[in-house]
Structure formats: C-alpha cells, structure tokens
Structure 1
Amino acid sequence: MGNRTDYFNDPDAPKANSIVPAVTAFVVNDAGDVLMERRSDNGRWGMPGGVQEIGENIAGTVVREVLEETGILTEVVGLVGIFTDPGHVIAFADGEVRQEFSLCFRARPVSGEIKVSSESLEVRWVPRAELDTLDVSPTTRRRLEEGFRGSPVTTIS
C-alpha cells in the first residue's frame, strides 16, 4: 500500500499533470448488495474500475476492469454519472498527479466467482446497510449515493 495518495480540496495538494479517462462500476446483485474491493494501493474500499486502454471502448473497459479485479463478469446497463472534480487529485509514487476524470457505470453481474487480484486486498458483496461502516473516499461515497438514486444519468460534475 501507499503508492497512491488522494487529495480532496486540499490547498497543499500537488498540481495535476495529467487527466486520464477512468471508469468505476456500480455493480449490484439480486440481493441489493454492492460489489466492493479493498484496494491494494491505498487500503480503502472502492468500486472496481480503472483506466481505459488504447483499442477498447469505454464499456469494454468497465467489463475488463471488473473481471480483472473481482472475478465477476458484468454487463454495462447504464451510466451513473461523470465525475471531473478538479479538487480531487491523485498523486502516484512515480510522480504522476492525476486530476479526476471518471465515468461511473451501472453494471449487472452475469457470472463468475469473487476472487482477489493484485489490485485488491479483499473483494466482497456489501449490503447497503454496511456501506457506512467502510473506509471509503468522499468520491466513492458520492458515486454510491448517486448509484442508489437509480436515475438514468444522475450526475455530471
């Protein structure tokens, strides 16, 4: 852990030097539980996701990242929101400081069994009532709230 530091409206945060298209997936099973992972880069809980790679469309990025990080194959069924808060910057150990640019997609599980990857310390389906007990970032908390609102596209910020 520790190769990533998130800053939220922090006047002492380093200046961003990149913007990278990234996705997160709001995946809810039939029981209403949310697919969450405890990230290996910062130890906090979050929704699975990552950056788009050359040659793939953005829905393909969602499916690939969720499968790689959790073992669950998903189908993208909607958009929760677009999050581009310049007050959220992420500093990486290699010197990159990224301004947030994240598309949060609604997805449904199709198949697979939960597994931990090199990017996660723990992966599980979390009941909605337990979400407040998890150590999550303010941006993850916002995506979860927007995801549960259920509107077709709830947030563009």
Structure 2
Amino acid sequence: MDRISHFLFTVVGLIFRHPVTGATVIPILPSGEIVLVCRKDNGKWGLPGGIVNWGEEVSEAAKRELWEETGLNLIQIRRLVGVYSKRDRDPRLHSISILIAANVDGHFNIKDNLEVSEVKAFKVDKIPFGNLAHDHEEQIKDFLAEKTILA
C-alpha cells in the first residue's frame, strides 16, 4: 500500500503542482490599433488568450482564444514576443503565457460571454495602462519596445 500511496501522491503532484500553459495574443488590426478585451472577473482590460488544450498546438490555441474572445480571425503571426512565467503573473494560478503578436481582421463578436464583457480597439497612445489585467501591461510594453522576453 505504501508504494501505491507514493505513486498516487507523485501523480497528483505532477498534475496539480505544475504551471498551466497558455497562449496570449497581441491582436493588431490593419489600422495598427491593438485589440483588448474587458474581463468580467475584475473589470480590467487585457489581451485575449487562454489555456492550451490537451493535444492543441500553441498557434491553434491562440487562434481559438482570439476568435472566442473577440470574434476576430488570426491572419498572420508577426512574431513571438515572449514567454512569461513569473509565478505571480496571474493571481489565479501559476501559468506560463506564450505571447505572440499577430495581424488580425474581422468584426467584433464575443463568443465567450462568461469571461469577456467588451472588445475594443485602441490606438497605441490610448492603451489603458494602469488598468490592465495580470502582467499584460508589461507584455504590451515589451512588444512596443520590440523586445523578445523570456521571463
């Protein structure tokens, strides 16, 4: 029984004590505006994104999350901006965010009404810094500074 207990403890530890991987997108419209979503849980603006599903590639997760949260289509990935893994970057859990910048198009149409209350395009000088969720302010500033980050 001791070996079985040890095995179960190890498996539970592996499942619940590891960071969750997510894909986050900086959606850039043809106008150059950046699209943000207003989160229902805290009323702050943020980048669209979410957890990568089992068997799903990061690029697929980015496309899916963008579409679910904004209704927009991912046309072309511009670049990998960074990988953000600080343990306190998301107050809900330890998550790793893989951030990409992408050209997008389409019309705003929120599919995920449980998480998102509004979608809006911002000119770079009108981004609501100081009212962004998680570490999205840092992420957007890194993108604007043309940095590639592993943090």
CA distance in 2 between partners of 1:133 and 1:147 (Å) = 14
1:135-150 equivalence runs, <5 A: 135-137=131-133, 139-150=135-146
Aligned match of 2:52 = 52
Corresponding pairs, count: 133
Aligned match of 2:119 = 123
- Structure 1 stretches of at least 4 aligned residues deviating more than 6 Å after TM superposition: none
Which shows bigger deviation, 137-146 or 45-54?
A: 137-146
CA distance in 2 between partners of 1:124 and 1:67 (Å) = 14
Letter in 2 for 1:112: G
Aligned match of 2:12 = none
Letter in 1 for 2:39: R
1:17 CA drift (Å): 4.6
Aligned match of 1:73 = 73
1:150 CA drift (Å): 2.7
CA distance in 1 between partners of 2:124 and 2:79 (Å) = 20
Aligned match of 1:62 = 62
CA distance in 1 between partners of 2:83 and 2:43 (Å) = 24
Rg larger for? 2
CA distance in 2 between partners of 1:51 and 1:70 (Å) = 16
C-alpha distance after superposition, 1:32-86 (max 9, x if no partner): 2101000122211001000000121000000000011100001323211100112
Which shows bigger deviation, 31-40 or 64-73?
A: 31-40
1:30-49 equivalence runs, <5 A: 30-49=30-49
Is the CA contact (8 Å cut-off) linking 1:63 and 1:76 kept in structure 2? Answer: no
Query: Structure 1 32/134 Cα, relative in aligned 2: closer, same or farther at 3 Å?
Result: farther
Letter in 2 for 1:43: G
Query: Structure 1 132/123 Cα, relative in aligned 2: closer, same or farther at 3 Å?
Result: closer
Query: Structure 1 89/136 Cα, relative in aligned 2: closer, same or farther at 3 Å?
Result: closer
Aligned match of 1:84 = 85
Going by fraction, where is strand more abundant, 1 or 2?
1
1:90 CA drift (Å): 2.3
Going by fraction, where is helix more abundant, 1 or 2?
2
Gaps spanning 5+ residues in structure 2: where?
A: 1-15
The answer as to 2:95 corresponding to 1:100 is yes
CA distance in 2 between partners of 1:126 and 1:28 (Å) = 10
Identical-pair percentage:
23
Is the CA contact (8 Å cut-off) linking 2:25 and 2:47 kept in structure 1? Answer: yes
Gaps spanning 5+ residues in structure 1: where?
A: 1-15, 92-97
